[in-house]
C-alpha cells in the first residue's frame, strides 16, 4: 500500500488543535519579540532568552529552552520555520499520539540542551563571530523529521514543494548534514541541531524495539559470562537413578 505524501498540498496537511496552538503562540511571540527589540529599554529582555556560551558570562539556566521561543531573526526566516511546522507537526502528532509526542519532544530538547551544555562546559564549542548566541527551532525541526521519517519511511515529502523524496531519506540526510555542520563549525547552534537529531533517533529506536533488543542482547552476553565462571561437576549418578 502506498503511503501518503506530505508537504505538497493542502490535502496532505493535518493541523491538529495542538499544532494550531503552537503556531499561534510562535507568531504571537515573534510579534512581541519585534516590539521588544525596537525598544531600547526592553531589548535586553529578548537577549536574556538567547542561548549564550558559558564563557560569555551571560549564560542562564533557562536559556537552553527559551532560545527555542526566539524565532527569526528575519520575518522570512521565521515564516519558513512556521511553514515547516505547519506541514509536519500535525502528521507527527497523529502518528505518535499527543501524550507520547509531547514526551518525545521534551526528551529530545532535554537531550539536545544537556549535550550542548556538557560540550560547552568542556570547552569543545567555539563562539561564532557571526552568531555568538543561539536561537531558533532547529532541534525541534530535525527531531520532527526523524520521528516522521522513521515512522513512515516510504512516505513522500515534496522537497521545496516540487521534488518527491522518501521520508526516511530526508531523515537520514538531515542527520548527515547536522553532523557535517557540527564538524565544520562546532558552535551552540550546530550542537543543538546535531543532538536534537541524535535524541530523536534514540527515542525512536527505543520505541521501535531496537534499543530494547540491544539491552537484552547486552544482558544475555553478561549472563553468559557469569555462567562461564561456574563449573559443572558430575556427581556420578545416572539419569535413571533419579526418583520422580
Tens of pLDDT, residues 180-225: 999 999 999 999 999 999 999 999 887 554 445 555 566 666 776 6
Residue 204 pLDDT? 87
Structure-block grid coordinates of residue 201: 533517533
**pLDDT average, residue stretch 96-100:** 90
Ordered structural domains, the chain, with CATH: 10-214 (1.20.1540.10)
| Spatial separation of the C-alpha atoms in residues 16 and 191, rounded to whole Å | 30
Phi, psi of 164 (to 5 degrees): -75, 125
The dihedral over CA atoms of 189, 195, 196, 202, expressed in degrees to the nearest 10, equals: 180
Residue pLDDT, tens place only, 28-82: 999 999 988 887 667 778 888 999 999 888 899 999 999 999 988 889 999 999 9
pTM: 0.76
Can you tell me the distance from the alpha carbon of 38 to that of 34, in angstroms, rounded to the nearest whole number? 6
For the stretch 138-188, pLDDT in tens is 999 999 999 999 888 887 776 655 677 788 888 999 999 999 999 999 999
> What is the C-alpha separation between 196 and 229, in angstroms, rounded?
42
> Quick one: pLDDT at residue 129?
63
**The predicted structure's pLDDT at residue 56:** 84
Q: How confident is the model at residue 20 (pLDDT cuts 50, 70, 90)?
A: very high
Residue 11 — pLDDT band, cuts 50, 70, 90? very low
Give me the phi and psi of 51, to 5 degrees please: -90, 110
Amino acid at each position: 500500500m502506498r503511503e501518503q505524501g506530505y508537504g505538497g498540498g493542502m490535502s496532505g496537511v493535518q493541523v491538529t488543535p495542538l499544532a494550531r496552538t503552537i503556531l499561534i503562540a510562535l507568531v504571537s511571540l515573534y510579534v512581541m519579540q519585534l516590539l521588544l527589540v525596537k525598544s531600547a529599554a526592553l531589548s535586553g529582555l529578548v537577549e536574556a532568552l538567547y542561548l549564550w556560551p558559558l564563557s560569555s558570562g551571560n549564560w542562564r539556566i533557562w536559556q537552553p529552552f527559551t532560545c527555542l521561543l526566539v524565532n527569526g531573526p528575519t520575518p522570512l526566516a521565521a515564516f519558513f520555520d512556521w511553514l515547516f511546522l505547519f506541514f509536519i507537526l500535525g502528521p507527527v502528532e497523529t502518528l505518535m499520539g499527543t501524550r507520547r509526542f509531547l514526551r518525545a519532544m521534551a526528551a529530545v530538547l532535554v537531550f539536545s540542551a544537556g549535550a550542548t551544555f556538557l560540550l560547552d562546559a568542556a570547552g569543545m564549542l567555539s563562539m561564532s563571530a557571526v552568531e555568538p548566541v543561539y536561537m531558533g527551532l532547529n532541534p525541534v525541526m530535525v527531531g520532527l523529521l526523524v520521528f516522521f521519517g522513521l515512522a513512515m519511511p516510504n512516505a513522500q515529502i515534496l522537497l521545496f514543494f516540487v521534488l518527491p523524496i522518501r521520508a526516511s531519506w530526508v531523515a537520514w540526510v538531515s542527520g548527515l548534514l547536522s553532523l557535517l555542520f557540527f564538524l565544520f563549525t562546532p558552535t551552540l547552534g550546530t550542537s543543538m541541531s546535531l543532538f536534537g537529531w541524535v535524541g530523536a533517533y534514540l527515542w525512536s529506536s527505543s520505541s521501535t524495539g531496537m534499543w530494547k533488543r540491544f539491552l537484552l542482547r547486552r544482558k544475555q552476553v553478561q549472563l553468559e559470562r557469569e555462567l562461564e565462571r561456574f563449573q559443572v561437576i558430575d556427581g556420578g549418578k545416572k539419569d535413571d537413578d533419579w526418583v520422580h
